[in-house]
Chain A
Amino acid sequence: MKPLHDLVEKVKPHFEKGGRFEKFYRTFEAFETFLFVPGNVTRRGSHIRDAMDMKRTMVHVIIALMPALLFGIWNVGYQHYKATGVEAEFIDQVVYGLIQVLPIVVVSYISGLAIEFIFATIRNHEVNEGFLVSGMLIPLVIPASTPLWMVSVATIFAVIIGKEVFGGTGMNILNPALLARAFLFFAYPSYLSGEVWIAGTAEQLDGVSGATALAVLAIGEGEMPSALDMFLGTIPGSIGETSTVAILLGAIVLVATGVGSLRIMLSVVAGGLLMGGILNLVAVNEFMEIPPYYHLIMGGFAFGTVYMATDPVSASQTGVGKYIYGLLIGVLTVLIRVVNPAYPEGMMLAILFMNVFAPLIDHYVVQSHIKKRMKRMEKIPAKA
């Protein structure tokens, strides 16, 4: 790697103070540190440091997203050929999926990273790694039929309003990827509901219902897919969210490496089952009659649980807080789905809602911690 390093060193002076491209130093730095972990050494405090850093953390989330992405690519093609009634080989389905999905991923990364670099340059701080994950999450939570310009607008909105106005990665209140989804949902509702879930069918076919299971239940028309199909993911839906199996694989990666919080995942599931169970007992309409576990495999529940709710920045930051936060996400999701037919997908709204409340939950957890400390003070006489 010597020649590459020499090259980096050779162009470096142009980007440093007084160089021709001084303004682009942060951009250069981002690429330099991407290629080479810099030889910066500790000066004080702990002389040795754990090998773990932000880049590596983010890379593991990307790895965990791979099953969902790969399955999503295939499923986009599979759904397309199924809806159009054309016989297609596995390879055709994948190729069609790639043609639909790859541009979305690329557009998401380019628009988001551009904003990141601009802000890093303006504010003169290092480019944060957070968007490496957001840039992959955004394509996975939208339908493959979303126009590319919309992907770009939503990403830019999410990065600026969701993150940079608060000070960048680590300071944001809302999950940027979900914010992008919510932006699309409210700004262009016609593109994110109805007959959008199967790429490349809208104009050609009238007879095919591309509705998701949630829409079927909310509207009360159409045919519910089987539980097995929903679990495997061979159903219409956003690119990455359909397959519970693929998402479970990702969850295993996240939990095994310690990157994702198992606490949150489990409590979201518990909350969903709890609320689903209660509504199932009441069962006054068709939506309430479904078995509670259906909620886990429908729509974005699994995807949100594993990848969105666990975002450490926008989630609750205290141990106990994570349980409360997760549980309420699960409860709210099912509640929104079943009780409010206007928004069949409750996951996105529930997480965003709880993102806003996470600091409040933390506040009360910290207060109870302080109370406990005060009690201890009373127990031990000040002067023994």
Chain B
Amino acid sequence: MAKVIKIKKGLNIRLQGQAEKILETAPRSEEYALKPPDFHGLFPKMMVKEGDRVKAGTPLFFDKYNEKVVFTAPVSGTYKELVRGAKRRILEVKITPDADTEHHDFKIGSLGDMDRQEVIDKMLESGLWPMIRQRPYSVIAKPDDKPKAIFVSGFNTAPLAPDFDFIVKGQEDQFQKGLDALAKLTDGDVNLSIDAENTQSNAIRNAKGVKVHQFSGPHPAGNIGVQIHHINPINKGDIVWYVDFQDVIIIGRFFEKGIYDPSKIIALTGSEVLNPRYYRVATGAKISDITRDNIRQEEEVNKRFISGDALTGAKVESSGFLGFYDNQVTVIPEGDKPEFMGWLIPSPEKFSVSRTFFSFLMPWKKYRLDTNIRSGERPFVITGIYEKVLPMEIMPMQLIKSIMINDIDMMEKLGIYEVAPEDFALCEFVCPSKIEMQTIIREGLDTMQREFS
């Protein structure tokens, strides 16, 4: 327990707009949506018709390739419509909520009496299963697999990430119950990682029935992939499962009350938010509920709304919906204005990991970064910078190149099973050639998945 895994490589990007530790209750949304694109590789098949009444926990659709996995309504109400995108891909499944949420009763007995299969069945039935994800590939776990271990990260180091200590307050029992449920799913360990210095909550630090690992260091120390790599790395043929921190609480709530209640506490963050705070919302809530009247008003500057953090989140409309796995909403300025000689002028407002700007002289300063790419895409030129932000025994540039040339053998040897797009988010951030590394990693994972399924 005393051993601290020290992460040395990495980078904390200092953004403006950290959420204050004040919890607000968001107004009830006028609509909720489940977004199939949140689940990579999902091919949704609808189970309800427009106008159907649904309760919280009623199945809406299932995965064509994984039929046992159903996705259920986060609130009760009326199934309103589908929003489709290019090639008729389903983007949003919208629900108009009732005034009061009516929950489907899943008739849960005592968790202690249930065996592994019963727990899995209940989770599948209630729509909790998509919260269980697996490595390799970073997709929803297959209920028939037996993972060698399960991982939960008890802290988050992403830019402006929410504080799990604050979130768990008042839900400590549910968190523990969720961990107990996870322990039923594997013969191996349930591993919970904590921040050696900053995790104070007793419920996290001294969680029972799990192996607690202490980490310290900059982002991506809080990334599950980095933690798995240092605790029990994935080799070819291994499967591990991982669950998001808040999803553990939701799972615990389910086994406590027998209802699917996916309400969570999210942080509203970013330089464009007037009062960055925490809000209690349900999964699939409309982002405008919490951003309304809380965004800096300037005519000149367009805003980027992100469900998730600024490195890995999904771009959404200001009227868009919260993603299934996301614990924060980030609002930053769009960088859609050209800048005169921008590459030459070392403005103190610019942040760079390299010492060609002045940001390295001001380690206290917080930045209002925008979404400008700064230049077009180039071939790899600079070497040796990606390794500095990837705390894994992996050669990032060589792995990316092996994916680019579709060399499956090489990808495997260089460790593609261990990584997910989010682990390369910092590499993508620092890349002077502006190569879209997260997209490339996802393509590589897709290739491997196709090859072996």
Contact = CB atoms under 8 A, between A and B. Distances in A.
A233 B381 CA distance: 32
Contacts of A1: 340
B398 to A, nearest CB: 6
Contact of A55 (B235, B343, B395): B343
B294 interface: no
B89 to A, nearest CB: 15
A128 B188 CA distance: 52
Interface residues of A, number: 62
A28 B261 CA distance: 57
Interface residues of B: mostly helix, strand, loop or mixed? loop
A60 B425 contact: no
Interface string A259-270: 101010000000
Interface in A154-182: 167-171
B383 A312 contact: yes
Contact of B433 (A37, A170, A318, A376): A170
Contacts of B432: 50, 52-54, 56-57
A228 interface: no
B352 A35 contact: no
- For A46, A60, A384, the residue with the greatest tally of chain B CB atoms inside 10 Å of its CB is A46
Given A50-B429, A52-B356, A256-B355, A373 B236 contact: no
A256 B428 CA distance: 23
Nearest to B343: A55
B304 interface: yes
Nearest to A259: B356
Contact of B376 (A40, A318, A376, A383): A40
A307 to B, nearest CB: 15
Given A41-B371, A46-B428, A46-B438, A52 B393 contact: no
Contact of B354 (A130, A170, A259, A380): A259
A34 to B, nearest CB: 8
Contacts of A377: 235-236
Given A44-B315, A312-B382, A373 B339 contact: no
A103 to B, nearest CB: 26
Given A35-B341, A380-B233, A384-B188, A52 B383 contact: no
A195 interface: no
A360 to B, nearest CB: 14
Nearest to B148: A384
A60 B352 CA distance: 14
B373 A40 contact: yes
B341 A33 contact: no
B334 interface: yes
A370 B414 contact: yes
Contacts of A41: 304, 334-336, 370-373
Interface string B338-353: 1111111000001111
B393 A372 contact: yes
A50 B371 contact: no
Interface stretch (B71-79, B125-133, B193-201, B306-314): B306-314
Nearest to A317: B383
B160 to A, nearest CB: 11
B39 interface: no
Contacts of B189: 384
Interface in A24-39: 33, 35-39
A47 interface: yes
A35 B343 CA distance: 9
A366 interface: yes
Contact of A56 (B310, B343, B369, B371): B343
Nearest to B438: A45
A45 B436 contact: yes
Contacts of A36: 338-342
A242 B430 CA distance: 36
Given A39-B335, A261-B384, A48 B342 contact: no
A208 interface: no
Interface in A124-144: 126, 128-130
Contacts of A382: 148, 235, 237-238
B450 interface: no
B428 A37 contact: no
Contacts of A380: 232-233, 235
A319 interface: yes
A7 interface: no
Contacts of A35: 340-341
A384 B234 CA distance: 11
B313 A47 contact: yes
A315 interface: yes
- For B353, B356, B415, the residue with the greatest tally of chain A CB atoms inside 10 Å of its CB is B356
A8 B389 CA distance: 38
Given A41-B334, A46-B311, A169-B381, A369 B395 contact: yes
Given A45-B438, A57-B432, 7 more contacts: A44-B436, A46-B438, A48-B310, A51-B351, A126-B377, A312-B383, A373-B393
Interface of B: 13, 15, 148-149, 159, 188-189, 232-233, 235-238, 304, 306, 310-313, 315, 330, 332, 334-344, 350-357, 359, 369-385, 387, 393, 395, 397-398, 413-415, 421, 425-426, 428-434, 436-439
